[in-house]
Amino acid sequence: MNNLFFSRFCGLLLLCSIGVAAFAQKGYKRAYTLFNAEGKEIGYDELIEALAQPDVVFIGEIHNCCITHWLEYEITRSLYAIHKEKLMLGAEMLEADNQLILDEYMSRAISYDRFEAEARLWDNYSTDYAPFVFFAKENKIPFIATNVPRRYANVVKDNGLQYLDSLSNEAKRYLPPLPIQFTYKEEEGGAFALMQMMGKSKGNQEYLAQAQAIKDATMSWFIAHNIKDKFLHFNGNYHSDFKGGIIPYLLQYRPGTTIKTVCSVRQESIDQLDEENKGRADFYICVPEDMTSTY
């Protein structure tokens, strides 16, 4: 294992341990609680038994939550113990046009340093996502870069979905079949506009929603295009909450696919699932609001 990666991963584990210790000092007994769709607390083994059944599992995460990332890694290991080579992994955090670079790293054709330098990785990749890729590499299971190249999401944000028709055939290799089915929902556009304002940028609300749609459609297309048996996918909550986002497109591209979703939530108390969170997923990873963050 790359020494820098190993030190960063150990740092993440230490960060999580510090967070857990801090909660213990405050009187908290747990750093997380698992719930089913009805809000009933369940054990880890019960979660794994359920997640082993469907074709595709979506884990909706909080991008800066170390407990979520640790549990994602544990779920990966547990499902691999059941499915072995039948399991495939995929993630929002890797873009489709980087599949060749990812494959070259997985096959040891290039070094981790070259992969890190060339694959346009998220800033928190080395601490939060590298463990999944390394696990797939060591166990020789496929890892699919499912997300749309960000330049095309940006084009849609500025010009709308119709602009994709003008792209070259080479560019369209990294997109789902066009045109993308899309129905604008004003509340979704408002949510995206708020996200953009927080990022200090503005844009057409419908185009912002369309930019999210091309991400969802692309992720679903590359899942449908690559799946052979079992597929575990990592993405932000929004892309799979309420069985929306990626999931309607996946059922369009691969009818009959069986699916389970996991949603990560922060709550003031993790003793029970808050009513406002019910309905978002089949299962929940619930962590305290003031749990340590990775960034």
Q: What is the pLDDT of residue 294?
A: 85
Q: What is the pLDDT of residues 29-85, one digit of tens each?
A: 589 999 999 999 999 999 999 999 999 999 999 999 999 999 999 999 999 999 999
Q: What is the pLDDT of residue 292?
A: 85
Q: What is the pLDDT of residue 30?
A: 87
Q: What is the pLDDT of residue 186?
A: 72
Q: What is the pLDDT of residue 194?
A: 47
Q: What is the pLDDT of residue 257?
A: 99
Under-50 pLDDT residues of the chain: 6, 19-25, 190, 193-194, 197-199
Q: The whole model's pTM is what?
A: 0.88
Q: What is the pLDDT of residue 2?
A: 55
Domains of the chain, CATH where assigned:
3-288 (3.40.50.11550)
Q: What is the pLDDT of residue 11?
A: 53
Q: What is the pLDDT of residue 195?
A: 52
Mutual angle of helices 205-226 and 186-198, in 10-degree steps: 100
